Structure 1
Amino acid sequence: MGTESKRQQRFGGVIQQDLAELFLRDGKNWAPGAFITVTKVRVTPDLAIARVYLSFLNTNTAKDDIASIKAKVSEIRYKLGARIKNQARIVPDLEFFLDDTNEYVEHMDRLFDEISKEPRQSD
């Protein structure tokens, strides 16, 4: 996959900002108890598909929460369309993915902690 054009980046930023506001306002209905962050939005060159990466805080059921959001994709797309109707000709199809960057960072931190606790071997 190549680099995104300025147009894709700009449109992705608009979608990211509007989805973030939607999740802040309505996220408790789609994933109760979780704080949802839109970490990244990648848009296809024809602007027809937006791949949205979500991070969940204050929850241990992130996989269930992302499944719940995927089940509500048409409602979320409709609400997004109402917000961006003056900025875009079409509302892109939304694909939601779990952004597990935080889990990866925590895993790497644990590995580095284990390495630093091991006794050093002399050469």
Structure 2
Amino acid sequence: METIKQKQVAELVKRNFSLVLQDEGSYIYGATPLVTVTNVKVSPDLSQSKIYLSVYNTENKQEVLLEMEEEKSRLKQSLAQRLRKLVRRIPDVDFYLDDTLDEMYRIDAMFGRLRADNQMGEEE
């Protein structure tokens, strides 16, 4: 169960890290991939944050995350500049791939094939 403070800090990190990616992202992983922050989870002591990212316009999504891991200190520094007057301690950041939308498209395509093969049963 997340506390109110955890939710507040998570929302601050989410909004500000999105802005950091707009400013710094093209220098790190190039202009082609589109990276969005989908969710942020903050630890109870507010020292760690897990940032979940969706990556589009590229086949190798893991490579984008690896490039971001290499530039982690630069990204955290940019985030710290935005958050320094809002929170006491800047949380450490860890990046995770959020593949929820990819999974949704895969399941939708599977249902589409089942409908095309008339294996879904009678629609009423």
- TM-score normalised according to structure 2 size: 0.91
**Which residue is equivalent to 2:46?**
47
CA-to-partner distance for each residue in 1:55-75, whole Å, 9 max, x for gaps?
112222211001110111111
Task: Tell me how far 1:99 sits from its aligned partner.
Answer: 0.7
Task: Tell me how far 1:119 sits from its aligned partner.
Answer: 3.0
Q: Which amino acid aligns with 1:59?
A: T
CA distance in 2, matches of 1:26, 1:88: 22
CA distance in 2, matches of 1:110, 1:99: 19
Q: Which amino acid aligns with 1:31?
A: Y
CA distance in 2, matches of 1:83, 1:20: 11
**Which residue is equivalent to 2:100?**
101
Segments of structure 1 that go 5 or more residues without pairing to the other structure are none
Segments of structure 2 that go 5 or more residues without pairing to the other structure are none
Aligned-residue identity in percent: 24
**Which residue is equivalent to 1:63?**
62
- TM-score normalised according to structure 1 size: 0.91
**Which residue is equivalent to 1:117?**
116
| Two-structure CA RMSD over aligned residues (Å) | 1.4
Task: Tell me how far 1:4 sits from its aligned partner.
Answer: 1.2
CA distance in 2, matches of 1:52, 1:70: 12
Number of residue equivalences:
120
CA distance in 1, matches of 2:71, 2:105: 30
Q: What SS is found at the alignment partner of 2:85?
A: coil
CA distance in 2, matches of 1:63, 1:117: 33
Q: What SS is found at the alignment partner of 2:11?
A: helix
CA-to-partner distance for each residue in 1:17-62, whole Å, 9 max, x for gaps?
0000010111111111211100100000100000000111222221
